[in-house]
Structure 1
């Protein structure tokens, strides 16, 4: 009864506490009464007829049913006994689950983020290359103008205009590339910022509240049982305890000698059998008399009717 109420308390985890408690207590009482009557039926239906083999053959299905009941009701009690270790393990499971969700979310948008970052880098790289070329040509024009360049003559008419024209051309190309790439870079940076904000918002919305439930507790119990042999052994002994408790009525009935109850039961069943035979015979006799008055002969053995 206690184990079933405990299990049901975690099944309806989304309901308010008072509703969960009420439902758990009510179901626990119903379950306890059902198991009690089932045990009574199992024991009372076993009869002592002198044949041990026949009694054992009839007891095997009842022992199997008792074993299934014991295994079913022992598991919630294990959850209660090891609740401290289970709560600790569930915190670890919760952290791992959140981490996996965050990684999956980041991986989902990693391609879009990488594409935008690569595009921004490429566009900015074009501007940087054009800037470097412009700076180099502008430097050559300046040193040619002050006489420190390759000709070593200040403002040489044949070379300086050419260097200056190359620098101006590079500046024009830089202005063109900058005018084309800068809006794209700004737009893509905005898209990248929005994408990062969306991912951060979705990660914040990942369930971080109560991490509970009957299934999760069973998983946690299985995990700590695999990791800790002591808990696994203790769980086996809890199940064995309930196996003994559930199977003991059947085993006691099976191993006990024939007693007064069995004699009284046999007398009662025999009396009922005789009553049934007499009742059927009387009904057949009354029916024959009524049909005889009507001029009809009835053979009850072959169920054929014939006129007199």
Structure 2
């Protein structure tokens, strides 16, 4: 309980002497601050893990150990930071006017603390939201990754299609030239064998015409061989270019998979959480954390003055009296007409008066010494004016 009192920024020495009701109030107040710090640690750690975990398919399970350790360390640090901020906000929030009603003046005075509390509450709520709807978010995110990957693949293949087409056109041109030679060779072979077998009509047989056809066929085969030799380097180059282009396309497609996996981030999950849960559920989850965060501030404004408050005021007055500090409440009006308190530091005033008196005494003594010195010098001059004049020369 004493530890919770410290978390609430209250004075345990006074609470030990106060009523049990006051002790429970401030213990509950400290419990809320501790709970907020704990939730902040969980939310911060999960957010960091979501940001830095290895990206991939949203349905891939498992825990990345090094990222989890880093997230735990950050979560503890973040939780302590939020705990310290909340503790300061609660400790700095006054008692208000000592009644249950929250007046407009009390609300406006606490507005900066309320704004800070709202920011902290929203910061805590978002990572908790994506953890609450993790299974639904994973399924939706996986579908988005597949669609994005498919779109990337179509776009990437379209970018490489023209380059493949350029290579295929050159290869097809070479193949067409070779095919034309092969057809000529086949035609020459057919004419030659028709001539030998007597199917060519007059002059059939192994005569001068068949020999000429044989020479033409051999010439075409030599021409085909020369064509293959001439085009071999070009075909090898085109094949190599196509292979390199295919490998480059495979690498780009692999990158597309990484890009699609990169959708598994904190921002995308928060967006999907809002789409899946809807505006109202998201609003009420955030409102829950806002209520938890702002409860201590409004709680302190609603507290009725209790023995703890009176003893606290009494001890403060005793300390001021012991230190010689006097406050005259609503003593004067400033330039804007607002009533101001006059703070008198009697020990400081006494020290200043002592210094002034000491300086006045020193001044008086200095004047007295100078006067006596003047009297002595005048006496010496009267007794022996010539000696004084000679000494002056």
| TM-score calculated relative to the size of structure 1 | 0.71
Q: Tell me how far apart the structure 2 counterparts of residues 18 and 177 of structure 1 sit (CA, whole Å).
A: 65
Alignment of 1:37-48 (within 5 A): 37-44=87-94, 47-48=96-97
1:220 aligns with 2:269: yes
Question: Greater CA deviation, 6-15 or 283-292?
Answer: 6-15
Q: CA deviation at 1:241?
A: 0.6
Q: CA deviation at 1:216?
A: 1.2
1:139 aligns with 2:195: no
Gaps of 5+ in 2: 1-37, 54-63, 328-342, 365-393
Q: CA deviation at 1:264?
A: 6.4
Given candidates 257, 275, 283, the residue that maps to 1:236 is: 283
Alignment of 1:116-127 (within 5 A): 116-127=167-178
CA contact (8 A) 1:6 1:24 kept: no
Q: Tell me how far apart the structure 2 counterparts of residues 18 and 188 of structure 1 sit (CA, whole Å).
A: 50
Note the aligned Cα RMSD (angstroms). Answer: 4.2
The SS at the match of 2:110 is helix
1:61 aligns with 2:112: yes
1:91 aligns with 2:138: no
1:188 aligns with 2:238: yes
- Map of 2:76 onto structure 1: 26
- Map of 2:130 onto structure 1: 79
1:5 aligns with 2:56: no
Q: CA deviation at 1:33?
A: 2.8
Q: CA deviation at 1:185?
A: 2.4
CA contact (8 A) 1:89 1:224 kept: no
CA contact (8 A) 2:93 2:110 kept: no
Given candidates 148, 154, 157, the residue that maps to 2:203 is: 154
Change (3 A) 1:42 1:87: farther
Query: Larger Rg: 1 or 2?
Result: 2
Q: CA deviation at 1:177?
A: 1.5
Q: Tell me how far apart the structure 2 counterparts of residues 273 and 73 of structure 1 sit (CA, whole Å).
A: 45
Q: Which digits, 9 at most, give the CA deviation of each residue in 1:161-180, with x for residues without a partner?
A: 76666545544432321221
Question: Greater CA deviation, 106-115 or 245-254?
Answer: 106-115
Q: Tell me how far apart the structure 1 counterparts of residues 279 and 184 of structure 2 sit (CA, whole Å).
A: 73
1:279 aligns with 2:329: no
Change (3 A) 1:38 1:96: farther
Q: Which digits, 9 at most, give the CA deviation of each residue in 1:135-172, with x for residues without a partner?
A: 234434544555544xx313397976766665455444
| TM-score calculated relative to the size of structure 2 | 0.58
| Aligned length, in residue pairs | 288
